[in-house]
Structure 1
Amino acid sequence: MFFYFAFLDLGDCYMLGAVQISVVFFLEKFINLDTLLQELKVKYMYQHSRTSLAKLLKNIGFTYKKDDNRRALMEKPYVVTQRRKFLKKYMDNFASTNPKKVVVLDETWVYANGSVRKSWQDQDIRSVKRCSGDGARYIVIHAGNVNGFIPHVGKIFKAKTDSRDYHTAMNAEIFEEWVKDLCSALEEPSLILLDNASYHSRQKEKRPTTAWKKCDLQNWLEENNIPYNATDKKDTLLNICRNNYTEKKYAVDEIIEQAGHEVLRLPPYHCIFNAIEMVWSQAKRSYDKEIIKPNMDPIKAWTLGLETVTSEQWGNYFRHTHKCIAEYWEREKFLIRTVQEIIINVNVNTDSSDSDFDLNGCEELQCS
């Protein structure tokens, strides 16, 4: 989809870009073929027939299908901003003369009885396997790079909670201690990718919130040498605090940076940028085959599952993820360039300086 534009002249590329941008940025309205065509004609972006527009949309990768809520979340303005920052930092590292090796990490879980819930059955009720339940849950954490798992850092432990959300079985203390072990095990300065789970994001200093008492707000202002009036009400104090927020500092980031490595946080809802997700999928399939064997315990079964993921497969997963990231990078650069051109064109052809387009985060992305 992204390289299709390389074979078009500037005018055709602009027209295709206008159509693509319109579909993306007019999503707050109900868009079908007729309403999109009308919108494009009003904006002087496309003056051809309905049939031609349908063919064009198909050629540039669009299909008319049921909306995916996760994809909608991925395009929220604050997520787009974080994605652009991630893409730029990742690709800058990749293009540098001395790139840091990328290390990915994540947590997942397995059940003591496995997760296979299918069997060969006929109409006889006797052929239906009785489910014994999931059993205890085990939390898993590991890290790897393009060559495979980082040796001696894998951790698996039995969850102490019955919650269906495995994140409740982890906390910042456990994770931060594990990160120290990871940093010690890395043989060279690395770029460590991690998501924004709450236990990855313990702040060194808590920011004031509406739940804070007035005296706590005053203490925070005094500790940070920020002036206020003793007669100020709580709302006023809170606004003063908010106006003096500094950049968030995470405990994990400090641990990683002090060890000589660099942190790159994944944008929300973008697990597709984390190669270890495919590793988990393969390891869990192997785990489900091992755990049903006689006298097999979860820790041994998981160890055997990890051993099925070879160094070559790790490399394949990394290359697949890099390709995905590179495609997003090209798309973001193209979108920004085209949006800027369209805004200029729309403003020239209208009496208003307002625009339907959001350039949120564009200042972070230098398109070369």
Structure 2
Amino acid sequence: MDPAEIEIPKKRKILDRHSKEILFNLHKYFNGLKNQDMSSIYQTSAAKLTSDATGVPFSSVKKVIFESKRTLEEGKPFTSSKQLLVSRKNKFNINDFDRAAIRQIIIDYYYEYYNEDKDFPIMTSLHEAVKEKLNYPGSCTTLRREVARMGFHWKMTEGNSGILVEKHKIRFQRINFLTKISEYRSQGRPIVFASEVYIDTSISSNPSTRGNGLIIVHAGGSDGFVPNALAMFETNDQVEARPHYLNTEDFIKWIENDLMPNLKPKSVVVIDNIFYQNILENPAPGPHACKQEMLDWLDFRNIIHSSSMLKPQLYQLILEHKKIFKEFKIDCILRKNNHSVLRLPPYHPELNPFKKRG
């Protein structure tokens, strides 16, 4: 049956801003037809007329017409573009363990190619390997985007073939981490790994308990767990923006009250690169901060400047020096007690014994 022949019963509808705009465009379009030659209009496709009348792009009109065939046959309402976007995003989630496993599959694939004379790795073959080993539900295109987010990019070789290469930043951070932890070990300093785990406690069918969770945080090293450092925090995804993570305030309290009093002298605390662990101490003023705030920041760090300089000039000085003076709150707290902080490189949870699978 032709969708154009199906009558859709009129119902009272609440019109959003976009719908009102389309109605106004229709009114203006049909009002303008009164003085036009109708013969040219009859030769134009209905989809093109709809696009001209509503102001909606022609490609979007064609998509809606295509969707209408399925929608009207199944008796279902149209889905909004926002609903489609959300449904696509929520098909599956990739966590740090999955990313680490994907990274290892990529490394293994290239090792086998260079040492065991296997086929040259291409995206489709990597996708098949990830699907087989991790039960990965995404498409090859989705995996390509995820691999790029993990710090890989394709580099063309002499044979005009693409090879996956880690970005400089990721390689440098990993090398820097391994170098520093090796130095700390050679100095005989105690190394303590801190980590947290989220547990979903909403096993009840009672709606009032849905979204409840528990975050357990602890620390330990080669000598076992740090005494009295275990802590638990309740969370709720209906209230908190990021319920699977600690907030900065709770993490700092745990550092000060539970972890630090029980650390051995001159310990090295290894933490993840999570947002709540990277809050800055005395962050640099922004371009719209007041002039006195900029002057105070420069004065405190003994950076040469003049009070007669304009704000853009002061801010340029701040931009040139803020990386040198960047400090994290967690680092400052532990350093005051003669401890050091070392952060894991991104997408390397396997370097933390707490998060190592198997």
TM-score normalised to structure 2 length = 0.49
Question: Which structure is richer in relative contact order (CA contacts within 8 A, separation 6 or more)?
Answer: 1
**Bigger Cα Rg:** 2
